[in-house]
Amino acid sequence: MKFLIQLCLAIGLSFAHAQNATTPIPGLFSISNFTFASGETLDTLDIHYKTLGKLRVFEDGRTNAVHIMHGSTGQGAQLLDEAFADTLFQKGQLLDAEKYYIILRDGIGHGNSSGPRNTGLRAKFPSYNYHDMVEADHRLLTEHLGVNHTRLVMGVSMGGMQTWMWGEMYPHFMDALMPIACLPVEIAGHNRLWRKTFIELIRLDPDYLDGEYETQPLVSLLGAMGLLQVMFEGQEYMQREYPTRAAVDSFFEQSFASVLENADAFDVNDQIYAWNSSWSYNPEPDLKNIRVPLTAVNTADDLMNPPQLGFLEKAVEDGMRRGLGKAVIVPASNETYGHGSYIKASLWVDELEKLLDATGISETTEKRL
């Protein structure tokens, strides 16, 4: 049921956990006349966010800020899940919220930030891409939160892909980068095929009505979410947890029942925009622009980012400046469950510790944290 839990966390349903070392503080940043890469504009682009801890700015311009980005169709609150936050943000942990200023925003088109549904624009909402999301984030940090340099930029899945882009677009903005559950290459091959299938399943549904539906087009929604589930779950995990036909059929029925029960939460316009926003993603040609140490982590059972393609190692060995990058493939085990393993910070927290140690700031600055 890992996929269902991830979906519910992504859309803010009833899988709440105890608060962390400091209470998340919500905020809103409104950008006037935002121009998208497509050339379209929005009179007001709202970016919602949560922060943990307090910002500290040091004499050398660095800060204790940590910017962490969520996955596709998720939101910042996704990263407050106990499997993630309770391994990182608690007192004495690597990203102790009493020591660091943690920023968890809802990306464009996600969560409570401006998107097709909550603006009422539906399919007339501007076509956004990852570049737009990173630009809006940069403006959030610099113009609104007063952050001109971060200790760390990291993200999972879509947020991981945007981590590569942060390193290229703003190479001196951070001390370190950690992209998780992603690849720094164009969305093509199998990865584009399933995304395109997902999108067209909905668009071709007569009940979609060019995005002007009054109720969610359930047939295409179920088909699209079923496809996403196949991509999200690990093959070894599924075989281990559901080793019989009856077990899989029961899992299938529960999964579809959950989608039907919460159909309005899976707004198909939001889904289309979110999954299509990767269409222009391709950081590979500009990897040489990254100036800070980077550790990229995938799991071996991630069907969305299969390790056998060798893209991660090639990016680190050939694309980045020598010595700056490190590629880590976490072996499949009873602790991993496919693409969604990214939320389980215990799988890669040791690599984060090494990265932070390797990019440690001065002793004087550390004492002031």
Residue 158: pLDDT band by 50, 70, 90 thresholds?
Answer: very high
The tokens of 23 are what?
A: 């209470």
Kindly report, residue by residue over 67-96, the tens digit of the pLDDT: 999 999 999 999 999 999 999 999 999 999
pLDDT score for 362: 40
Domain definitions of the chain by residue range: 2-189+277-368
Average pLDDT, integer, range 172-197: 97
Kindly report, residue by residue over 112-130, the tens digit of the pLDDT: 999 999 999 999 999 999 9
Average pLDDT, integer, range 332-359: 97
Is the pLDDT reported for residue 58 higher than 50? yes
Q: Are 324 and 178 spatial neighbours (Cβ–Cβ below 8 Å)?
A: no
Task: Give the angle 130-136-139 at the CA atoms, nearest 5°.
Answer: 145
pLDDT score for 4: 52
pLDDT score for 360: 83
Query: What is the rounded CA–CA span in Å between residue 159 and residue 180?
Result: 8
Query: What is the rounded CA–CA span in Å between residue 236 and residue 70?
Result: 25
Query: What is the rounded CA–CA span in Å between residue 191 and residue 155?
Result: 19
Query: What is the rounded CA–CA span in Å between residue 216 and residue 202?
Result: 10
Query: What is the rounded CA–CA span in Å between residue 119 and residue 1?
Result: 32
Query: How would you class 339 by CB atoms within 10 Å of its CB: exposed for 0-12, middle for 13-18, buried for 19 or more?
Result: buried
Residue 268: pLDDT band by 50, 70, 90 thresholds?
Answer: very high
Residue 259 sits at φ, ψ, to 5 deg, of -65, -45
pLDDT score for 22: 66
pLDDT score for 294: 98
Query: How would you class 27 by CB atoms within 10 Å of its CB: exposed for 0-12, middle for 13-18, buried for 19 or more?
Result: middle
User: Of residues 342 and 1, which shows the higher confidence score?
Assistant: 342
pLDDT score for 17: 41
Average pLDDT, integer, range 20-38: 90
pLDDT score for 14: 37
Q: What is the DSSP letter of 127?
A: -
pLDDT score for 61: 85
Residue 19: pLDDT band by 50, 70, 90 thresholds?
Answer: very low
Kindly report, residue by residue over 186-219, the tens digit of the pLDDT: 999 999 999 999 999 999 999 999 999 999 999 9
pLDDT score for 2: 57
DSSP 201-262: HHHT-GGGGGGT-SS--HHHHHHHHHHHHHHHB-HHHHHHH--SHHHHHHHHHHHHHHHHHT
Is the pLDDT reported for residue 15 higher than 50? no
Average pLDDT, integer, range 279-291: 96
- Average pLDDT value for the chain: 92
CATH 3.40.50.2300 describes domain 2-189+277-368: no
The tokens of 310 are what?
A: 């060798």
User: Of residues 152 and 362, which shows the higher confidence score?
Assistant: 152
Percentages helix, strand, coil for the chain (3-state, rounded to 5) are 45, 15, 40
Average pLDDT, integer, range 12-32: 69
pLDDT score for 94: 96
Q: Are 294 and 153 spatial neighbours (Cβ–Cβ below 8 Å)?
A: no
